[in-house]
Amino acid sequence: MRAILLTAASLLFLFSCKEEKKQTQGPIVLGDSSTIVTETDPKFLEDMVPDLQTTQEAGAAQQASPATTPAADTVKPEPAAATPVPANQKGLTLAFKEVTLFIPGIETHEYRKQNLSRSNSATYELRGGKLAGNTIQVQSGTVTKISQRYQTQLALQQGGRQLVLASLGNYLSNWETIGTSGKSFPLKGLEPRQLDYRNVSAAQIRTAVQKAARAQRLSRAETAEWEKLARSYKNNRQNPALVQLNAVMWRVEGKGFSKDIRMDVP
């Protein structure tokens, strides 16, 4: 019995080996269900290769992502603006190197081009506006003193007409201080009845009338009329005398500078 069992076991072993050898021989045939292995362990089912993005997808993703904010530029302080000329106001601006002045409400003429940034003086002719009751305004710089003087001539007036007594010459006043501080300096003493002229006699007036009549080629009747008027002359501040303003000069002083300005009054 034992021998029978051993013989049967041997036959079973030989049959098993033969069957295994048969299964491993030959190439793998596609679609053969006997060669398909189905994996069920989750750890071997994970995707170990990262997804690849196409160029188009990468570009779209880059556009969708927020742009990198550049570093803020260093803010540079703006230079201080110069004091502007008053809006809607005509006038004369005197832009010297150390100081800028403004006389409002006047129109002027330059005899020649002047570069005030390289000059200590300026000359103009008044063409419009008034100086009496006006001001000199300081727009930039520091002014410690403004002085004024003026030049006048004497005339006779009658019925809206005037006869300038040019032979008597011009009168030049002394310098007078009109201000020592601030940004606005009133022009004082320029009203017609405040202007001065040197004292002259009645005889000087009559002689000056005769010279003016000849210079202007007046008729005998006109000359006689002015001579008669001259006999009523008493002083420079009463009719028929008229003191006319010829020019005004200002001297503007500050720390380290002095500027002279002349305004001729035709």
259: Cα within 13 Å, side-chain hemisphere: 25
Pairing of strands 143-158, 241-254: antiparallel
Check residue 24 and give its pLDDT.
46
Angle (CA) 154-155-159 rounded to 5° is 155
Q: What is the pLDDT of residues 190-228, one digit of tens each?
A: 999 899 999 999 999 999 999 999 999 999 999 999 999
Residues with Cβ within 8 Å of residue 8, at least 6 apart in sequence:
none
Nearest partner of 94 among 136, 50, 150, judged by Cα? 136
Taking CA atoms, 38 is separated from 28, 42, 48, 151, in Å, by 16, 12, 18, 123
Estimate to the nearest angstrom the gap between the alpha carbon of 88 and the chain centroid. 16
Residue 72 to residue 222: CA distance in whole angstroms = 85
Tell me the pLDDT tens digit for each residue of 112-124. Answer: 999 999 999 999 9
Residue at 232: amino acid letter: S
Low-confidence residues in the chain, pLDDT < 50: 6, 13-25, 28, 30-33, 35-36, 39, 43-45, 47-83
Nearest partner of 123 among 250, 244, 245, 243, judged by Cα:
250
For tokens 């570093």, what's the residue? 71
Q: What is the pLDDT of residue 89?
A: 77
Looking at residue 226, its pLDDT comes to 97
pTM beyond 0.75: the answer is: no
